[in-house]
Structure 1
Amino acid sequence: AAPTQLVVSGPSHREKPGQSVPFTCTARRFFPKDITVKWLKDKAEISAQQPQITPERTNSSYNMSSTVTVMLQEDDVRSQLICEVQHPELSSPLRGMYQLRRALRVSPSIRLVSDPPSPVEVNKTVNFTCHVKRFYPGDVTVTWLENGMQMKVENISRPEESPLGLFELRSQLEVQATEEKNTSVFTCRVVHDAQAPSDTNTTLWIIDPAR
């Protein structure tokens, strides 16, 4: 009997680039026992542990499990793992696939820019822009705080996908530099993929506010 459908499984939650993550390929109910397994990442072959072959309890066939460990990278959002099995009863190899983006979380880089930069003249309009770059998946929320209090901000762009498959967005905040806002701290708070918030702060300085 030829092996039935291959199942390739990965981690139960997303992992960061630089983590070594196991992936498993299983095939069931084949006979005879001879089976060969090959793993590829995109088109390049990668080495795996020896497959575990165990007899099926109910009938005279076998099950196979093969595990490979992959160190995830940022650009794996565009990569796939392929488990390829050959068996005497198969006329062509059987393939199972796993899109590595399902296992990957790339945290954003965050940069907060003030235009014009502090210190500014009193009553000038200041534009703060929060650049949130190179993240995956695209699930992100941005909020602004002034001295720790949440502000109402409309100007938040939608995440855009780059050619690499990572996302980026920007959020803008317009502030009137009135005297009482001197030394106010503005925070861009980013929550990515339900992780802990990441805060980036800037302080508004006003030139000689007492004059």
Structure 2
Amino acid sequence: MELPGSKPDIHSYGAHKTYQVQSNITVQATIDSYITCKINHTSLEQPIISTFTMNDIVKGEPSLPSVSGPTEQVMFNTNVTLSCTSVGFYPADILVTWWEDDRELHATQPDVRLYEDKTYQVQSNITIPAKIDSLITCTINHTALQQPIHSTFKINVKVRSSPNIFAFSK
């Protein structure tokens, strides 16, 4: 499909009367689409053609991460698994990091999957011991973001109480 461009902007410069031409178009950026620029001129034996894929410039921002974990109270120091999911990003390269308060945690390699619309989804899981008042944060960094985005999860910890023991003496 041929797209109408803007009126070419032509500038003459130099003693040899050479010209510079610039034309701009606005198109809907879609993944896997191609743009071809074709230049015709009477001095050319054949047109100059240049094609590039929109994948080189299209970027889709990942959604705010969603962190899920146990909804009920868990006992102190028992292992819990948290899951972090973000969707709708392009290209596929993404960085997921987990933090407990200000300390980076080590998680397994995230699972990145392609959707039918050619955007991606990432899921990362981490298993950690439940601690009192611990905040666990999933941080997402991607080329389409100005700065990383994150979501935090607080594990509802139950502290095991020991029975009261009373000793009486006579």
Residue 155 (structure 1) shift: 0.6
Counterpart for residue 202 of structure 1: 153
Candidates 53, 58, 72, aligned match of 1:99: 53
1:77 to 31, 34, 58: 31
Alignment of 1:99-118 (within 5 A): 99-109=53-63, 110-114=65-69, 117-118=70-71
Give unpaired runs (5+ residues) of structure 1: 1-43
Query: In structure 2, how many angstroms separate the alpha carbons of the residues matched to 1:106 and 1:82?
Result: 22
Residue aligning to 1:157: 110
1:65 corresponds to which of 5, 17, 22: 22
Q: Distance in 2 between matches of 1:200 and 1:45?
A: 45
| Root mean square deviation of aligned Cα | 2.7
The structure 2 residue matched to 1:185, chosen from 119, 135, 151, is: 135
Unaligned runs of 5+ in 2: 162-170
Whether contact under 8 Å (2:33, 2:54) holds in the other structure is yes
Aligned equivalents of 1:51 and 1:79: distance in 2?
24
- Distance (Å, rounded) in 2 between the aligned partners of 1:158 and 1:88: 54
Structure 1 counterpart SS, 2:24:
strand
1:105-142 alpha-carbon deviations (Å, 9 max, x no partner): 2111122121xx22233154321111132222333222
Question: 1:210, 1:154 → 2: CA distance?
Answer: 28
Counterpart CA distance in 2 for 1:90 and 1:163 is 43
The answer as to 2:116 corresponding to 1:166 is no
Work out which of the two has the higher radius of gyration on C-alpha atoms and give 1 or 2: 2
Secondary structure of 1:104 counterpart = coil
Report what 2:168 is aligned to.
none
Counterpart in 1 of 2:167? none
Structure 1 residue 96, shift from structure 2 partner: 1.8
1:189 deviates by: 1.0
Which whole-Å CA distance do the structure 2 matches of 1:166 and 1:202 have between them?
26
Q: Flag the structure with higher strand content.
A: 1
Alignment counterpart, residue 128 of structure 1, candidates 78, 82, 90: 82
